[in-house]
Amino acid sequence: MDWYPLLNSLRIAAISTGIVFFLGIAAAHWIAKLPRTVKGVLDVALTLPLVLPPTVVGWLLLLLLGPKRPLGAWVQSVFGLRLVMTWQSAIFATVVVSFPLMYRTARGAFESFDKNLADAGRTLGRSNSWVFWRVQMPCCKQGILAGMVLAFARALGEYGATSMVAGYTPGRTATISTTVYQLWRTGDDAGALGWVLVNIALSAAFLLAINLLESRQRERR
Amino acid sequence: MALSVDIQKQLGSFCLQVRFEAGDERLALLGASGCGKSVTLRCVAGILTPDEGRVVLDGVTLFDSAAKIDLPPQRRKVGYLFQQYALFPNMTVAQNIAAAVRDRSAREETVSRLVRRFRLEGVSRQKPGQLSGGQQQRAALARILASEPRTLLLDEPFSALDSYLKYQLELELMETLDQFSGTVLWVSHDRGEVFRSCQRVCVIDRGQSCPVQDLSQLFHNPGTESAARLSGCKNFAGAVPQGERIFLPEWNLTLDWARPVPEGIIRMGVRAHFVHIAEPGEQNAFPCQVTRVVEDVFNTVVILRPEGAVPGAPPLRMELDKMAWRALPARERITVSIEPRDILLFEE
């Protein structure tokens, strides 16, 4: 069995979770400070990928990144890089699709953060960034961790947008989800079953890890 | 060494307009909840920005709307004791204190000195959530003093504590404050706390500050009805000046004030424990019906209705010693009196 799809799925999900961690937290942090009307509009725009069908997201991404589109063509001519149909292209898809999960959970965590703690830090002479990284983030740790878990799971299971942006090339862009589809389509039920079992095992292990983490945190409190 | 505050801030339909000066003393900001006391403290600390005005601390302008000066809270050197203390829950007590030390080379030494001074040795490695209310307050004070503030702002320092703890902590806090040389602003809604802890008081009523006064003045001549209410006065009625006497239309009574009553007086007040059982032949005596008797812990509260009172008139509240009340022969109808010097008069 060629393990490439497993490796590829894991690295795409891990990198995209890393990116989404910073993007989601930055968005949650800055949007919380905006006036209510602007906040409402941005909130809808940033949450939209959560409710759009992944194919719509994929189509929009191709519109932006395709080799004949302005941005895609420019990157190709200046850096010689192709933005679609590589394994890295899938990261665009998973970032867009999992971003709202991170953004919304981080925002919820920040909203329940006691603002007096930040004000206390500032009157004691500490900088805003010290207060953010040393007080606010640790206090919101659980919500942010939950957001990362959701974003990672969503990225791992991504199919629609990924298959449109990265396609399916065995050994190059194949992920677990696109491999299962391909094997089923070509009538290789045994191969598909193998990957289905791998995926179920992976997801179960993942959920188990989350539960362990949660119970350990509850004990520490 | 002084703090001078003169600020305005509009918050929705609420308008805050506060003005006071304080030297090296403990000045109380006394007001009912929601009157703008905490907002005032936040403006001094730089957490909120006033719309207009000036805040000057020890000659340093912290805020001046005209000169466009608005120092960030980090540079104001103001120690703010939050209502719930705002200790960082993710850090130990020692780390909380260390976070406030500005001079890095003196950090360890300062922390251990403050831990000893505030008797936190046993809990310095614990998180704030594991501490009692009193320990939390001591830790918060230690943290504030670690930042070497020029002034201390105390926002209802005992609101987070049970009342039985309060009195002991009040003494401890006073000891700490006695060693602090600078202005202390003490926000409170509790007149007893203010009386025990502070030297002067600035009453804030619905966002408007009254002139700063001595505590004895607040209790003997509060000046306004709201200040009198905050100082614990419970009986108020409309008043009409009549030479050296005042006429109270609601109770249909005329009382002697023993000196000329200024024109413009329209209200009177009298403290419940200054209403007393009349001796035979005493002046300002009048008969009342007893409408209700409430037993308090050490006192008896008697709700009275002066016999001439018109329908809808406010009741008259009398507080007296339990024994004195039980010793009375008749308790349905009694004659009470108020001494002229105990009658407070208001213009507003």
Interval B254-286: pLDDT, tens:
999 989 999 899 999 999 999 999 988 899 999
Interval B301-322: pLDDT, tens:
999 999 999 999 999 999 999 9
Would you list the domain boundaries of chain B? 3-230, 235-346
Please report which helix (H) or strand (E) contains residue B336, including its range: strand B333-337
Which residue do the tokens 């009625």 mark?
B237
Question: Which of A123, A127, A141 comes nearest B80 by C-beta?
Answer: A123
pLDDT at A221: 52
Residue of A36, A123, A135 to mutate when probing chain B, most B C-beta within 10 A = A123
Residue type, A212: L
Question: Which of B86, B102, B146 comes nearest A120 by C-beta?
Answer: B86
Number of CB atoms found within 10 A of residue B88's CB: 23
Calculate mean pLDDT across residues B85-108.
94
Q: Which residues from A are below 8 Å from B75, CB to CB? A: 125
Burial of B252 (0-12, 13-18, 19+ CB in 10 A): middle
Would you list the domain boundaries of chain A? 4-220
B99 with A117: Cβ contact below 8 A: no
> CATH class for domain B3-230?
alpha beta
Residue of B70, B82, B110 to mutate when probing chain A, most A C-beta within 10 A = B82
Question: Which of B73, B80, B89 comes nearest A139 by C-beta?
Answer: B89
Which one, of A1, A13, A51, lies nearest residue A202 by Cα? A13
pLDDT at B94: 96
Domains B3-230 and B235-346 are alike in CATH topology: no
Residue B93 CA to residue A88 CA, distance in Å, equals 46
pLDDT mean across residues, chain A: 90
pLDDT of residue B298 exceeding 90, the answer is no
Interval A52-103: pLDDT, tens:
999 999 999 999 998 888 888 888 888 888 888 999 999 999 999 999 999 9
What's the sign of the alpha-carbon dihedral B268, B274, B277, B280?
negative
Q: Which residues from B are below 8 Å from A141, CB to CB? A: 90
Interval A109-144: pLDDT, tens:
998 899 999 999 999 999 999 999 999 999 998 889
> CATH class for domain A4-220?
mainly alpha
Calculate mean pLDDT across residues A29-35.
85
Q: Which fold has domain B235-346?
A: OB fold (Dihydrolipoamide Acetyltransferase, E2P) (2.40.50)
> How far from B22 is each of A124, B211, B284, B338, CA to CA, in Å?
22, 12, 41, 36
- Of chain B, the percentage scoring pLDDT greater than 70 comes to 100
